[in-house]
Structure 1
Amino acid sequence: MGRAHEVRKVAMAKTAAAKSKLYAKYGKEIYMAAKAGIPDPESNVSLKKIIEKAKKDQVSADVISRAIEKAKGGSDEAYIAARYEGFGPGNSQLIVEALTDNVNRTIAEVRTIFNKNGGKLGSVLHMFENKAVFTFQGLTEDEVYEILLEGDCDISDLEVDEEFVTITADAQQYNQIRTTLLDQKPELDLEVDAVMWLPLAETTLEGHDLELFDRMMAQFDELDDVQEVFHNVTRD
């Protein structure tokens, strides 16, 4: 069904994650954005975007306000962005992105998950593309092209699939495309609105390899430090 279908499946799987993990993920991101700038979403564009995404994923207002108040309170807590690459079962390749206050702890936990599931840490970043991805409904292909042309946006691909429009572009184009779409169509509901690592080639796993991969993904989902996991595994 194409890359757009796979991207939507990834987004839907993320929203199905446990609330506690989802809250922890956004709590860290909101805190870091508020601490890095003005702790007011009307004056801090990065903070506003993260809050919009959090609300869309049904993160409670209490979680959002607590993270902002924590930043206002002068907490010296700090998180470091870390990225880990590796090979999983079969021909799977994974990129694990984390926000951590203890790099040694996080890399040890990530390495253990790889090792226990038939994988290992290793360089795979060259097998992925860093892309801005937007998926939404309500506009025709021609309408989207017209909006993007007016906004002088440079895209890699535009795919229409089951009434959904999916735009893929270089990661550097994220802000320009997002601003252009929402300035022209403020009511647009962006089902996928993210910068993500997309594989250059996908693989399908079966049997024991698939079981190990699913267990690996479940274990990453349980780690509070892990924010996102990108991979090259596709499912029928």
Structure 2
Amino acid sequence: MAGHSKWANIKRRKGAQDAKRAKVFTKLIKEITVAAKEAGPDPDGNPRLRLAIQNAKGANMPKDTIERAISKGSGADAEEYFDITYEGYAPHGVAVFVECTTDNLNRTVASVRSIFTKNGGSLGKNGSVEFLFDRKGIFSFRRPEHITDEDSFMLELIDGGVEEVEFDNENGYVQISTAMEDFGSLQNKLEEMDIETESAELQRIPTTTVSLDNEAFLSVIKLIELLEDDDDVAKVYHNLEATDEQMEMV
């Protein structure tokens, strides 16, 4: 997409899907529950839970909903969830990487395989598309009012390990990226700077992208949206490039 970095393109695509607030809340609650069960209810000693709470707040989830999810996850009768990934190709050679959190592996693999097969795609083996993506930490937040010197601001972020900074002055947002191994240090740097993020997550960023005509583009988007709508699917990554016109279509 002209004028946008490849990870910002993904973020914008994801943002359109995230308008389905109820679905978003369901997935965030599951992540909080899983994180609390995995390493306890204290976010100070549980980085995954801390991040899940941060993202829930960024989505304007009520405090009591967050607390109930933590309580559910830390209880003795908490459900057992598993993190699992699937890789494959959508129509027209578009690589798709799917991250899931599920309490029923058989149900999830059957659902994911069905979505690929019925929509012209194919589910592959582990490693079949993973090499086409780099793992990056992506943060998005409202531009602080006190930032008047962008260069000085960027230099301070570089101390925390930032690789790329993108100012969206039209909407008043800043999006930054870092290497996966520097995710924690950059998160700490933002807190030190009193910057509250609206989203902070590890994403899979494509190293190469695929451009399609409008008809082919929509056939791929259909498969991606069906995957995103599945309750067991946490995140979907792909290397489909979109024009501004195509973004308006979805």
CA displacement, residues 38-74 of structure 1 (integer Å, 9 cap, x when unaligned): 3234554432321121121122334323222212331
Aligned to 1:32: 34
Does residue 223 in structure 1 map to residue 225 in structure 2?
Answer: no
Does residue 104 in structure 1 map to residue 109 in structure 2?
Answer: no
Aligned with residue 178 of structure 2, among 169, 174, 183: 169
Aligned to 1:142: 151
1-structure distance, mates of 2:215, 2:10: 25
Structure 1 alignment gaps of length 5 or more: none
Does residue 15 in structure 1 map to residue 18 in structure 2?
Answer: yes
Does residue 54 in structure 1 map to residue 61 in structure 2?
Answer: no
- SS in structure 1 of the partner of residue 137 of structure 2: strand
Aligned to 2:216: 209
Aligned to 1:118: 120
Specify whether residues 200 and 230 from structure 1 end up closer, same or farther in structure 2 by C-alpha distance, changes over 3 A only.
same
2-structure distance, mates of 1:35, 1:5: 32
Moved more, 127-136 or 138-147: 138-147
Give the conservation status (yes or no) of the 8 Å contact 2:37–2:78: no
CA displacement, residues 129-161 of structure 1 (integer Å, 9 cap, x when unaligned): 111112342444312333134x4x334333445
Deviation at 1:219, TM superposition (A): 1.3
Q: Percent identity?
A: 32
1-structure distance, mates of 2:67, 2:139: 27
Deviation at 1:189, TM superposition (A): 4.2
2-structure distance, mates of 1:66, 1:198: 33
- SS in structure 1 of the partner of residue 36 of structure 2: helix
Deviation at 1:100, TM superposition (A): 0.8
TM-score (norm 2): 0.82
Aligned with residue 72 of structure 1, among 50, 55, 74: 74
Deviation at 1:207, TM superposition (A): 4.2
2-structure distance, mates of 1:118, 1:212: 8
- SS in structure 1 of the partner of residue 93 of structure 2: coil
Aligned with residue 129 of structure 1, among 117, 131, 134: 134
2-structure distance, mates of 1:5, 1:46: 23
2-structure distance, mates of 1:69, 1:83: 27
Deviation at 1:34, TM superposition (A): 1.2
Aligned to 1:84: 86
Give the conservation status (yes or no) of the 8 Å contact 2:59–2:198: no
Moved more, 62-71 or 101-110: 62-71
Give the conservation status (yes or no) of the 8 Å contact 2:54–2:197: no
Aligned to 2:96: 94
Q: Give the paired residue count.
A: 231
1-structure distance, mates of 2:199, 2:63: 21
Aligned to 2:247: none
C-alpha root-mean-square deviation of aligned residues, in Å? Answer: 2.3
1-structure distance, mates of 2:60, 2:175: 23
Kindly provide the amino acid, as one letter, of the partner of residue 154 in structure 2.
Y
Kindly provide the amino acid, as one letter, of the partner of residue 114 in structure 1.
F
